[in-house]
Amino acid sequence: MSVNAIRDDEHMQSVSKKATLTRLFRYLLAYKGPIVSVIIIMLLTVAISIINPLILERAVDVHIANNDFERLLKLGMFAVSINIIFVILVKLRMYLMAKISNHVLLTIRQELYSHIQKLSFNFFDSRPTGKILARIIGDVNSLKDVLSNSVTTLIPDFVTILAVVTIMIAKNWRLAMASLISLPIMALGMWYIETRSHRRWQIHRKKSSNLNAFIHEDLSGMRIIQSFTAEDETEEDFDQLLKEHRDSFMHAVILNDAFGSVIDISWGIGIICMYYTAIKILRIGSDNVGTLIAFATYISMFWRPIMNLSNFYNQLITNISGAERIFDIMDTKPDITDSETVIELPEIKGEVVFDHVSFSYDEDTKVLNDVSFRINAGETIALVGPTGAGKTTIVNLISRFYDIQEGTITIDGYDVKDVSIESLRKQMGIMTQDNFLFSGTIKDNIRYGKLDATDEEIIAAAKAVNAHDFIMKMEKGYDTELKERGAGLSIGQRQLLAFARTMVSMPKILILDEATSSIDTHTELLVQQGIEALLKGRTSFVIAHRLSTIRKADRIFVIDDGKIKEEGSSDELLAKKGLYYNLYMAQFKNL
């Protein structure tokens, strides 16, 4: 598993732009009804926009030429009334479009988030949190303008262009040709810019993500940074990332900024050709000034939407990399999934069997090598051994955090691969080494272990793990608000709360991975007494280094080099004078 460091750009699957776009716009298809309404509304508004210059033309060429002010005024009233309709239609269109695009944003973000929840540890372990966050927040936000402008810019502008071109051709095709002669120049210019700037924007997004990751980590590790007075160093790193971020932006805009200019010059050329053709070739005289004015208007009516479209295109190029990054995650397959023939694990008794289990994280080094054991329901098993021997791995496999390469793991005779992950983990109480407390009240944090737990159950769990006393000493007791990770509590107190959270669901299988490592011996004894009654009839796995913690286990497994080296009760193992005996004696070496 290669770990992506903050400074390194993320590696991504390369996908064609077209595929990304189609996928993005497929989200819009879910709103067929509203989209159709939007399109109809837009056709109407476009029609009004096209009528407007016709009115102008008529006003100049007919009414003003005929000195007919009354008709001119009437025409004016007509113009006002259709433009009032225009405003109402625009409002309706904007409302529909805002609803659609915001809703698509909501959907994409939710889909992305839900998908991330399915992913396995490999995904989270191999990249900084800040980079995943960047995709959920920043990248999704970047799609907002693209989505809301997609229908509203694309369709009316295309229609306008088509309509304008048709009218121009109908009125005078030669003049029309002359006006549009510069289109290829523009197309060439845009193509040149677009092919180059896409990659540059991709890089910019990655730099932006790096920046996000850095900020996240810096804030999370502020205590240690200040303690080691590393502020100057982090500022230096931040400066470097800022510079890369800015440079990648400049690198992209140096091309992109030419977009408007290309259009401008093509526009100018169009006008020149139009006048030249009109006067030199078609010999248009003073009686047709109105036509010329109208044509000049059409040209600007033609180029304005082209300008809009190219702006939109520009926006698309700038932000499509955001969509790519979102879909990249959505396409990441979770390593651990429910099989297709998944069944719900019925209520278990707690018998756990490992049958010739071998496992490695990265296919190279075997962390577990042909491990077999049977644990009867209700037994307490202690896992001991040097750090990095594979103790945590064994408990991770029981809860199916990883899938094994060889052998089978069964619970009450059910292969863990055949039952739904949710039904499996719900019946287990797992206390991992890093216990994360969420911001929220103490009560809510304990309730996380059993969402429908009553207050009594919560208090009972807290009492069992000896957390009740310190909770009650706080001003608001169980309603005390905790900050992220439980800031404000001592590490030991956090551990006790996490312990209570694990106990509240009364799991059939309990896994305690260094559950009391930060708790003083005295409190630990109280915790042990408190949970003793609760543990009766439950299978439990205990990992601990303090041997006083594990002595009472029914059986002790000594793990080393991915194998169970010794097995038996504490007394039996001590009598053996083997590994356990050495570990046991080690704690007295310092005496």
Partner 1 sequence: MKKKISWYIFKYWYTYLFAILCIIIAVTLDLLSPQVTKRIIDNVIVGGDLDLLPRLLLLVFMIGLGRFIFQYVKELLFDINSSKIAAGMRKDLFQHIQSLSLSFFDKNNTGELMSRVKDDIDQIWKAVGFVSMLIIEVAIHTTIVLYCMYNLSPKLAIIPTIMLPVMAGLAVFMERKLGKIFEEISEENAQLNTVAQENLSGVRTVKAFAREKFEIQKFLSRNKRYYELNMKQSKVFIKYYPYFQFVTKLLPMIIIIIGGYQVIQGEISLGTLGAFTEYSMNIVWPMEMLGWLSNEFASAIASNKRIKKIYEEKPLITEIDNPILLDEVKGAIKFNHVSFSIDNKLILNDISFNLPPGKTIGIMGATGTGKSSIINLLQRFYDATEGEIELDGINIKNLSLKQLRKNISLVMQDVFLFSDTISENVKMGDRYHIKKHEIIEAATYSQSRDFIEKMEDQYETIVGERGVGLSGGQKQRISIARALAKKAPILVLDDSTSALDMETEHLIQKALSQIEATKIIIAHRISAVKNADEIIILDEGRIAERGTHETLLGEKGYYYDTYIAQYGEYLDELKKDAVSDPEEVAECL
Element (H, E) at 184: helix 183-220
Give the Å distances, CA to CA, from 115 to 12, 27, 327.
17, 16, 11
Cα end-to-end span (Å), the chain = 42
Length of the chain (residues): 591
Residue from 26, 199, 243, 552 touching partner 1 (CB under 8 A): that is 243
Residues 547-576 touching partner 1, rule: CB under 8 A, are 547-548, 551
Residue from 52, 358, 360, 441 touching partner 1 (CB under 8 A): that is 52
Residue from 158, 192, 438, 537 touching partner 1 (CB under 8 A): that is 438
Task: Pick the closer one to partner 1 by CB: 262 or 371.
Answer: 262
CB neighbour burial string for 467-489, b if at least 16 within 10 angstroms, e if fewer? bbebbeeeeeebebebeeebeeb
Three-state secondary-structure class, residue 372: strand
Residues 475-534 touching partner 1, rule: CB under 8 A, are 475, 483-485, 487-493, 495-496, 498, 501, 514, 517-523, 525
Task: Pick the closer one to partner 1 by CB: 19 or 491.
Answer: 491
Residues 86-115 touching partner 1, rule: CB under 8 A, are 86-88, 90-91, 94-95, 98-99, 102-103, 105-106, 109-110, 113-114
332 binds partner 1 (CB under 8 A): no
Task: Pick the closer one to partner 1 by CB: 15 or 121.
Answer: 121
Count residues near partner 1 (CB under 8 A). Answer: 180
> Do 541 and 398 touch, CB atoms closer than 8 A?
yes
Sole window of 25-33, 162-170, 322-330, 542-550 interacting with partner 1 (rule: CB under 8 A) = 542-550
Residue from 432, 443, 461, 478 touching partner 1 (CB under 8 A): that is 432
For tokens 């096209």, the residue is 50
Task: Pick the closer one to partner 1 by CB: 102 or 195.
Answer: 102
Minimum CB distance to partner 1, residue 18 (Å): 28
Task: Pick the closer one to partner 1 by CB: 15 or 60.
Answer: 60
Minimum CB distance to partner 1, residue 62 (Å): 10
Residues 1-20 touching partner 1, rule: CB under 8 A, are 1, 3, 5-6
Sole window of 15-23, 206-214, 406-414, 457-465 interacting with partner 1 (rule: CB under 8 A) = 206-214
Residue from 28, 35, 60, 282 touching partner 1 (CB under 8 A): that is 60
- Give the span between the Cα atoms of 570 and 564, in whole angstroms: 15
Q: Are strands 440-441 and 481-482 parallel, antiparallel or unpaired?
A: antiparallel
Task: Pick the closer one to partner 1 by CB: 379 or 560.
Answer: 560
Residues 397-416 touching partner 1, rule: CB under 8 A, are 399, 401
Minimum CB distance to partner 1, residue 91 (Å): 5
209: exposed, middle or buried (Cβ count in 10 Å: 0-12, 13-18, 19+): buried
Among 559, 178, 235, residue whose Cα is nearest residue 395 = 559
Task: Pick the closer one to partner 1 by CB: 30 or 106.
Answer: 106
Minimum CB distance to partner 1, residue 189 (Å): 10
- Give the span between the Cα atoms of 361 and 581, in whole angstroms: 30
Minimum CB distance to partner 1, residue 63 (Å): 7
Give the Å distances, CA to CA, from 363 to 71, 123, 459.
87, 16, 45
Residues 355-384 touching partner 1, rule: CB under 8 A, are 384
Three-state secondary-structure class, residue 450: coil
Residues 258-287 touching partner 1, rule: CB under 8 A, are 258, 260-262, 264-265, 267-269, 271-272, 275-276, 279-280, 284-286
Residue from 155, 203, 225, 377 touching partner 1 (CB under 8 A): that is 225
- Give the span between the Cα atoms of 320 and 20, in whole angstroms: 8
Q: What is the per-residue DSSP string for 261-304?
A: HHHHHHHHHHHHHHHHIIIIIS---GGGHHHHHHHHHHHHHHHH
Task: Pick the closer one to partner 1 by CB: 335 or 355.
Answer: 335
Task: Pick the closer one to partner 1 by CB: 243 or 374.
Answer: 243
Q: Which amino acid is at 128?
A: P
35 binds partner 1 (CB under 8 A): no
Residue from 23, 171, 196, 304 touching partner 1 (CB under 8 A): that is 304
Minimum CB distance to partner 1, residue 34 (Å): 14
Minimum CB distance to partner 1, residue 174 (Å): 17
> Do 112 and 135 touch, CB atoms closer than 8 A?
yes
**CB neighbours of 572 closer than 8 A, spacing ≥ 6?**
none
Minimum CB distance to partner 1, residue 412 (Å): 18
Residue from 17, 171, 545, 563 touching partner 1 (CB under 8 A): that is 545
Give the Å distances, CA to CA, from 569 to 380, 525, 535, 555, 566.
11, 20, 18, 5, 10
User: What 8-state DSSP symbol labels residue 583?
Assistant: H
Q: Are strands 509-513 and 539-543 parallel, antiparallel or unpaired?
A: parallel
Residues 333-352 touching partner 1, rule: CB under 8 A, are none
Among 67, 62, 79, 71, residue whose Cα is nearest residue 290 = 62
70 binds partner 1 (CB under 8 A): no
Residues 121-160 touching partner 1, rule: CB under 8 A, are 121, 124-126, 128-130, 132-134, 136-138, 141
CB neighbour burial string for 324-349, b if at least 16 within 10 angstroms, e if fewer? bbbbbbeebeeeeebeeeeeebeebe
Task: Pick the closer one to partner 1 by CB: 245 or 349.
Answer: 245
- Tell me the per-residue interface mask from 167 to 186 with partner 1, x by CB under 8 A, - otherwise: --------------------
User: What 8-state DSSP symbol labels residue 136?
Assistant: I
> Do 558 and 399 touch, CB atoms closer than 8 A?
no
